[in-house]
Structure 1
Amino acid sequence: MEALPTGISVLDREFGGGIPSGSVVALEADPASQSELILDRLARVRECRYVTTVRSADAVEASLTLDDEADETVVEDATGDDPFATALDAAAELSERGTIVVDSVGPLESDDGAEYGAFLGDLRRRVDDADGLAVLHALKGGAADRNRVVTEQIADVVFDLRTAVTGTEIVNRLVVPKFRGGAALEEPLKLKLTDSVSVDTSRDIA
């Protein structure tokens, strides 16, 4: 397995260069968080198929056209009747060592459990064949969904972004409880999420 960079320098340092090729990553975050900044970096670091299940393709493309790197990102609209087929077709077109982003995976999780499990199996095989990376944006909250545990079980890497308001400060901590093929973080990583992703070096005030 080759380490594929995430595009976020602090994570690549922590993970010895990146995430093992062929991995499925679940990025769990609050809907009102800045988690899309993390997706943005993951999508820009190499050729990417970005599958959107909620936002329009135009909205996603607008957010990814800030520089020339976005030219390597193809946005697929999976808001129609068969999002599973759209996502798998995009995965079939994945270039070698490419990335596929599913934003968000919630509408797929809410479907039939057997169909969702089969989808994850097919997605894993296609990503593994390409030595690429799959990123599932798994938003928290809303109705409890039994299929979220399936997402977490299948995922090789789980990024759990926790956002809290402390006094006058918004604090973002990234917890990595699961990392197959590597070492999970022993402690939460405090991130600064504004218009980019960086390490937050400010001290916590009790």
Structure 2
Amino acid sequence: MKEYIVVEFMEERLSTGVPVLDRKLDGGLPPGSTVALCAPPASQAELLLSEFTSSRPTLYLTTDRTEESVSAEFRHNSGRRIPEVRYIPGDAPLDHARRLFQRLPGDSTLVVDPVDLLEREDPTRYRNFLHDLQSHVRGTDSLAVLHCLDGRSVPDQRDITEHAVDVVFQLRTDISGDRVENRLAVPKFRGGSALPETIKLEFTESVAIDTSRDIA
């Protein structure tokens, strides 16, 4: 009687830039993924965005800060890869962003920070933009990260964003007494398993996972 051995090959993943987070995600994110990073405006989400840029060449689209101010932050962190930073103006932002991401080469990262300006455009045009973005990212085995501000004025198209993307990261910041605690949830993960519990993060000049025991 013949015996057959089944060997499972794990799909190569793209790093998030945070090694311990990669391990929790079974190696990182599947190539071709689009990610929504949802976080309050007063959080340290930009540090997490900068980690996404550390592993691959990155096109960083900024919609509310100047190219120089974003680039200066990356230059301040010595040893970090400096992405190509481009400003998206308020006039026809979807068209500007589409022209830029269509230049995205293979095995690279796109960051839109924040995506709120694009979410306030016509719903049909915004859906078409997301479809075109996902098609390009999948075709180039790249990664797109959309920074979604969860503030006092959330765009009507936020539901469209979270439904369309492959992965949703939700960053929450809680202040209790003299402690500031940051926790990351991954409630949605196409091509993988959503995490059953939140991850406690430490933000200094970089991002680390707090592995110490929580004290009740």
Q: TM-score range by the shorter chain?
A: over 0.9
- Aligned match of 1:70: 81
Q: Report the alpha carbon displacement of residue 90 of structure 1 after superposing the two structures with TM.
A: 2.1
> After the TM superposition, which parts of structure 1 deviate over 3 Å for at least 4 consecutive aligned residues?
201-206
CA offsets 1:137-193 (integer angstroms, 9 cap, x no match) = 001022243210000000100000010002210000000000000111110000001
Moved more, 77-86 or 150-159: 77-86
Which of residues 26, 36, 44 in structure 1 aligns to 2:54? 44
2:90·2:117 contact (CA, 8 Å) conserved in 1?
no
TM-score (norm 1): 0.94
Task: Give the letter aligned to residue 64 of structure 1.
Answer: F
Q: 1:125 aligns to what?
A: 135
Task: Quote the Cα distance in structure 2 between the aligned partners of 1:164 and 1:101.
Answer: 25
| 1:61-103 deviation digits (Å, cap 9, x = unpaired) | 01112235434x1111102412212222221111211000000
- In 2, the alpha carbon distance for the partners of 1:68 and 1:11 equals 21
TM-score by length of 2: 0.90
- Conserved 8 A contact 2:184-2:201: yes
User: How many pairs are equivalent?
Assistant: 205
Secondary structure, aligned partner of 2:171: strand
Equivalent residue in structure 2 for 1:2, among 7, 12, 17: 12
1:88 to 98, 116, 129: 98
Look up the equivalent residue of 2:78 and give its one-letter code: D
Q: CA deviation at 1:202?
A: 4.3
Counterpart Cα distance in 2 of 1:131 and 1:169: 40
Look up the equivalent residue of 2:65 and give its one-letter code.
Answer: R
Work out which of the two has the higher radius of gyration on C-alpha atoms and give 1 or 2.
2
Q: What SS does the aligned partner of 2:81 have?
A: helix
Cα RMSD after superposing both structures: 1.4
Q: Percent identity?
A: 46
Whole-angstrom CA distance in 2 between matches of 1:106 and 1:131? 25
The one of 6, 21, 39 equivalent to 1:11 is 21
**Unaligned 5+ runs, structure 2:** 1-10
